[in-house]
Structure 1
Amino acid sequence: MREFLSKHCYDCHANGAKKGGLDLEKLSTEMTDRPLVANWTRIFDRVSQGQMPPATEPKPAAKDTASFLAAIEPRLKAADKRLRETVHRRLNREGYQNTVRDLLGIDTELKHLLPEDQQAGGFDNNGEALAISAELMGQYLRAAEAAIDAAIVHGDRPKTVTFTVDPMNEIKKDIPRFFGLDDGRSVIYTTDKGNYSKIATREKRTPVAGRYRFRFPVATHASAEPIVFNARVSDFDGLAATNIDLGYFEAEAKPKTVEIEAVVGARSAIQFFVLDLPTWLNDVSSGKFPGVGFGPVEITGPLYAQWPPESHKRLLGDVDLKTGKLEDAEPILRRFIARAFRQPAAEEEVARYLSLVKGRLAAGRSFEASLRSGLAAVLCSPNFLFLRENISEAKTRISDYELASRLSYFLWSSMPDAELLECARQGTLHEPAVLRAQVERMLKDPRRDRFVSDFTGQWLRLRQIDATTPDPKVYTEFDDFLKFSMIEESQGFFRTLLEEDLSIRNFLDSDFAMLNRRLAKHYGVEGVRGVKVHKVPLPKDCVRGGVLTQAAVLKVTANGTTTSPVLRGVWVLENFLGQVVPPPPPNVGSIEPDTRGATTVREQLAKHRTAASCNVCHQHIDPPGFALESFDPTGGFRKQYLRYYVEPKNADKGWGKVITAGNVDPSGQLATGEKFADVREFKRLLLQNEDRFAHCLTEKLMTFALGRELGFSDRDYVDGVLKSSAANGRGLRTLVHAIVESPAFVAP
């Protein structure tokens, strides 16, 4: 090892030279701690990938490189295994909310009661990032009490009422100047970008909280083309108002009735917002302007399939809370503990929580209050909050109950259902045929959409879609419907590959996209109708296709006003090519776009790369970023940069106009020498190196599935998954199966 390093590496990384902060002469070969393992792993990867020694230096003989790597590999594997700590995973916010809702059968939102989770390895279900504290336990107790409150009901079934509210009653005084009437429908001609619409049912609101059905007729006015509208529910409680988005719908020239069901709070009203119309019209009394008419809204609720509701029956059975006794608490707790802990209830556990109820009863508290204490304690137990696994050196695989949980939190972000637990009880879940059948069943279940949204939300960073807002002066067409459509496209694309088992090559480039009318207009693709995204063939040589050119990805990798090749380049390297990009040295200035347009980012980066220490990273970072410069912060295609120019005579008012600020140059050259002219050619180069992307995606999925970062000792597992997947066509569904069937998935 030392001979190879001395011959090929010491000139840059020893004898006083410490490029990249690495002094190989002083680097211990003992690999006794994590930083040492991380450093040697980095060295192994750089040498094996041909990145070191750099292209400017003589290359070592292939046999010398192979000998060097063979000497390091077994030592790294052993050290990584030895140093890895067993960390029990706590439920993250998503997993907690899904689990409690599935456990109790409730619709209540609980996520807001818990703090945001930290990430490790790119995901927030990583056990090492999920610490716990006394304060967090207090929040878990409040969330548990809120969940039990939602599950238990009292008294007679609330009366389900039906009443009708005509939006016209609120706008009478503004007809016909600002609103119109068309066959009994109240017509709105403008787009309101706020949270308040006069076309609403505020006149009579929902009497109590619960699930309600809203039915109303709708049709376009003076428009043969469909017009999209948004429905929302609000309680209009000032700054504390709760607003619930019910989705986007299309109105057409032919009247139709729209029906929506949603869980809403007391004193709530539905209101309507029309899109793609002028934001202001002085007088619409001529009736010639296009608009959307909404008829009287029929509201029915609260709706219950049964009384007591399923949540109450599931938790308490037939026990009457008013007359319940200690002996009634025992079967309730036994049943609840088994489901909450995701395995049969141990007698000592039942006794522990029953003694808590007994103590409260002895102190004079009511049966319900005493039982609630026991139930809340179960929901605050480590056996509920953690995916605990019985680890010992003698075990070669986890138990079937533990496997059921590992599988369900991978594909459903929630607890195992009755069928999974029954397979675990029978001891057959680990059998290949049974396991494969269960994965297929789970991927056909609607709950798999949690996997789609949770994984893409973190891998593609879709959760950051609201982190920035495109400059409204420059990107005037950006709106909430476009933002909604962006997320739907990226999630729909992943879902389609999963459902149809399409090749993961499609992530790099595809001949189709998941579009609706709004997104197709943004992309310049003609002939697409409807609000719901669906599979649309792309024109030949279209710049779209794959994930890198999806608007959501392009938005979350921009800052709202400008784009940065560096930010986008790092995103591509880390999320598509699996390359860890170290942070820049502290004394290196940042590269920011020149908003005056005097110098381009490309020019600044060219100067930046003249420093050898900067070029080491930027030769890899910049090319992908340059390719994506063809897209603005909203994901729109561009050939020129735009900026907002404030006219000097109106500087005090900030008035100005949008002007061009130079041509976009999307060309580049990869560190390996290949050149590309634009994003189309860049994607072709990525396809030629498909294996690298497959490796990266496999590692991302396995990290998410296992809830821990992968180490050097996991590389054989990753290679096994890759071989299995490649042998079966590299479909995304096939890849998921290969991960579940891997020894890593059942390893303690």
Structure 2
Amino acid sequence: MPLGNPGACEGNCASRIASYILGELQRATGTLECSSGPTALPRRLRPLTRREYIATVNDLLGLTTTNPLNDFPVEIRIDGYDNMPAAFEMTDRHIDAYLGEAESLAARAVIERRSAILPCEPANDREACAREFVEEFGQRAYRRPLATSEVNSLLALFADEDEPFDIGLQDALWAMLISPHFLQRSELGVPDGEGNFALDGYEIASAISYLLIGSMPDDLLFAAAANGSLQTTEGRRAQAERLLADPRAREQLGIFAAQWLGADPLLAGEKNSTAFPNFNEGIQERQFEELNRFLSHVVFDASGSFAELFDTETVMADPLLAAYYGVPMPAGETFGPIQVADGSRGGILTLGSVLAAHAHSNDTSPVRRGVFVRRRLLCQDLPPPPPEVDNTPPGLDPTLSTRERFAAHSTDPSCQSCHQYIDGVGFGFLKFDGAGGPIAFEGGAPIDDQGEILGLRSLDDPEILSFSGATQLGDLLAGSETAERCLATQVWRWSRGQLESSELACEIEALGTDFVAQGGNVQELLLRLIELPSFTRRHEGEEVNP
């Protein structure tokens, strides 16, 4: 919230504050120890996120809409992720947006997609055609077969034979698009005879599909749900392997990565044009494209390994972005992988969108970047500063280097206890400005980007490792089991839509162990997620999120 001016908190400001508070509350619980208990998640309904809603209506209706990104309320995030059901609360604004968008989509579908969504000709037999539409389209909309009562309720919209059939068709489409069965994914399950619940085939189909491609199941997944094959690990894995070959899986991985790395374009802030005159909207858009293409390249086209996410000479750029970064661009290249052998760029740590996200609007920030590495890449939670400590960043001073401006953290005891873990890491990013561009000099002197990391394995580890620049820090993280396990934890949180509890800590620990043992293959990590007990098991109880 703008300091001393809460009235200036406009747009997404309130949701960002709520996300921050929820994240801080959850982090305050500390590290959970593995304990025995049901390896299951609570029974729940998962609201579609704005992105999921868009993908679902586009696949369901064959239309193209992006309205919900602007018209629907912004998700409140927990730990950076927008798919946490515990953070969702239905508001009047949600209802108005759902009603309005459904009305618009239903009208468009009847005009633009009637022959595609209607499997029959009502002139031949109005009642039979209405039933065929409701049962077939309804199963896709609700992502499960409709109950008899649901079919009858929708058929009633076609009952007035004095009205054109298409009026009933539009009304039925609208009714399905505003139904909770469309707007939410069921993870309620059925009793398993052991006091818990097991997801049925259609719930599993949705869970696989929304995890891997961010949208509704396709016909093959619906068929697998109907024939029972999704109740087996082998059946689930076969479908998941198939979906990972879908181009939408690459997009979905990019959505996860942007939220994991805190560089989601939906939350991007503006940069000061005086401080960063070469940065503009075109560069920003290319930086987000760079993130998506880099993750896609490593995971799907290259080794697929965790290590290559951090330790690589490959940079994804087009001529404009390459010029902004000051890296050579081969002639004839559009947007593709280029090799940067001088160590100036390469890997997640030097992605422009990541660097820009963890900086100020008018300045770089060693603190933000150090905290980013600790929290997002190592899963090491540092406590917030004591309330009596002034954590205002040091002001700009042309007579001092960035390193000198932050020197107080190493001398003030009230700061040093935490900043010993932060600043040394953040100093490794000093050759990148607050908009992800290169910077070699400050005040006419060469920039010193020597850094050190205390407690790479854990915060109580006394070992201090030195490095030179962000790419060498990336080398350290590439070989870090702590960082590797952290990625497994982050993927688990995102896939499950909740943070871990003590009962589930054992499962997450085992997932990390398996990820390390199999060489850190990211696709295999995604496949392993659907084989874990918590993917299909549910229990009665409250969610663990605040």
When normalised by structure 2's length, the TM-score is 0.84
Q: Residue in 1 aligned with 2:44? A: 87
Contact 1:121 1:708 (C-alpha < 8 Å) held by counterparts? no
| Runs of 5+ consecutive residues of structure 1 not aligned to the other structure | 1-34, 46-71, 154-308, 642-659
The AA in structure 1 aligned to 2:339 is P
Could you tell me how far apart the structure 1 residues matched to 2:267 and 2:513 are?
38
CA shift for structure 1 position 461: 2.9
Q: Residue in 1 aligned with 2:469? A: 678
Could you tell me how far apart the structure 2 residues matched to 1:542 and 1:73 are?
40
After TM superposition, the structure 1 = structure 2 runs for residues 261-300 of structure 1, keeping only pairs within 5 Å, are none
Q: Residue in 2 aligned with 1:492? A: 293
Contact 2:360 2:434 (C-alpha < 8 Å) held by counterparts? yes
* Structure 2 SS opposite 1:343: coil
- Worse overlay, 136-145 or 593-602: 593-602
Could you tell me how far apart the structure 1 residues matched to 2:216 and 2:278 are?
42
Which aligned segments of 4 or more residues in structure 1 are displaced greater than 6 angstroms? 35-39
Higher strand share: 1
Contact 1:334 1:350 (C-alpha < 8 Å) held by counterparts? yes
Contact 2:420 2:454 (C-alpha < 8 Å) held by counterparts? yes
* Structure 2 SS opposite 1:88: strand
Q: Residue in 1 aligned with 2:156? A: 355
Does structure 1 residue 516 correspond to structure 2 residue 318?
yes
Does structure 1 residue 502 correspond to structure 2 residue 334?
no
The AA in structure 2 aligned to 1:565 is P
Could you tell me how far apart the structure 2 residues matched to 1:684 and 1:521 are?
25
Residues 498 and 115 from structure 1, CA distance in 2 versus in 1: closer, same or farther, beyond 3 angstroms? same
* Structure 2 SS opposite 1:674: strand
* Structure 2 SS opposite 1:89: strand
After TM superposition, the structure 1 = structure 2 runs for residues 399-418 of structure 1, keeping only pairs within 5 Å, are 399-418=200-219
Could you tell me how far apart the structure 2 residues matched to 1:721 and 1:712 are?
15
CA shift for structure 1 position 436: 2.3
Q: Residue in 1 aligned with 2:182? A: 384
CA shift for structure 1 position 606: 3.2
Q: 1:458 aligned to 259, 263, 273, which one?
A: 259
Q: Residue in 2 aligned with 1:744? A: 534
CA shift for structure 1 position 666: 1.9
Matched length: 502
Q: Residue in 2 aligned with 1:697? A: 487
CA shift for structure 1 position 405: 0.3
Does structure 1 residue 529 correspond to structure 2 residue 486?
no
After TM superposition, the structure 1 = structure 2 runs for residues 302-701 of structure 1, keeping only pairs within 5 Å, are 311-320=113-122, 325-326=126-127, 328-358=129-159, 361=160, 366-391=164-189, 392=191, 394-395=195-196, 397-464=198-265, 467-500=268-301, 501-530=303-332, 532-539=334-341, 541-641=342-442, 660=443, 663-672=446-455, 673-688=464-479, 690-701=480-491
After TM superposition, the structure 1 = structure 2 runs for residues 182-221 of structure 1, keeping only pairs within 5 Å, are none
Q: Residue in 1 aligned with 2:60? A: 103
The AA in structure 1 aligned to 2:98 is Y
Residues 532 and 444 from structure 1, CA distance in 2 versus in 1: closer, same or farther, beyond 3 angstroms? farther
Could you tell me how far apart the structure 1 residues matched to 2:376 and 2:487 are?
8
CA shift for structure 1 position 702: 1.4
Q: Residue in 1 aligned with 2:3? A: none
Could you tell me how far apart the structure 1 residues matched to 2:472 and 2:365 are?
20
CA shift for structure 1 position 412: 1.1
Could you tell me how far apart the structure 2 residues matched to 1:90 and 1:37 are?
21
- Worse overlay, 138-147 or 588-597: 588-597
Could you tell me how far apart the structure 2 residues matched to 1:683 and 1:386 are?
39
Could you tell me how far apart the structure 2 residues matched to 1:121 and 1:559 are?
20
Could you tell me how far apart the structure 2 residues matched to 1:152 and 1:704 are?
36
CA shift for structure 1 position 446: 1.9
CA shift for structure 1 position 396: 5.7
How big is each residue's C-alpha offset from its partner over 1:11-30, in whole Å with a ceiling of 9 and x where there is no partner? xxxxxxxxxxxxxxxxxxxx
When normalised by structure 1's length, the TM-score is 0.62
Could you tell me how far apart the structure 2 residues matched to 1:696 and 1:719 are?
10
Could you tell me how far apart the structure 2 residues matched to 1:327 and 1:413 are?
34
How big is each residue's C-alpha offset from its partner over 1:64-86, in whole Å with a ceiling of 9 and x where there is no partner? xxxxxxxx753xx55x989x754
Does structure 1 residue 715 correspond to structure 2 residue 498?
no
The AA in structure 1 aligned to 2:233 is P
The AA in structure 1 aligned to 2:323 is K
How big is each residue's C-alpha offset from its partner over 1:350-373, in whole Å with a ceiling of 9 and x where there is no partner? 122223554xx39x7654334422
The AA in structure 2 aligned to 1:94 is R
Q: Residue in 2 aligned with 1:56? A: none
CA shift for structure 1 position 483: 2.5
How big is each residue's C-alpha offset from its partner over 1:147-196, in whole Å with a ceiling of 9 and x where there is no partner? 1122112xxxxxxxxxxxxxxxxxxxxxxxxxxxxxxxxxxxxxxxxxxx
The AA in structure 2 aligned to 1:700 is Q
Could you tell me how far apart the structure 2 residues matched to 1:435 and 1:639 are?
51
Could you tell me how far apart the structure 1 residues matched to 2:241 and 2:529 are?
13
Residues 661 and 597 from structure 1, CA distance in 2 versus in 1: closer, same or farther, beyond 3 angstroms? farther
Residues 37 and 468 from structure 1, CA distance in 2 versus in 1: closer, same or farther, beyond 3 angstroms? closer
CA shift for structure 1 position 402: 1.0
Residues 318 and 687 from structure 1, CA distance in 2 versus in 1: closer, same or farther, beyond 3 angstroms? closer
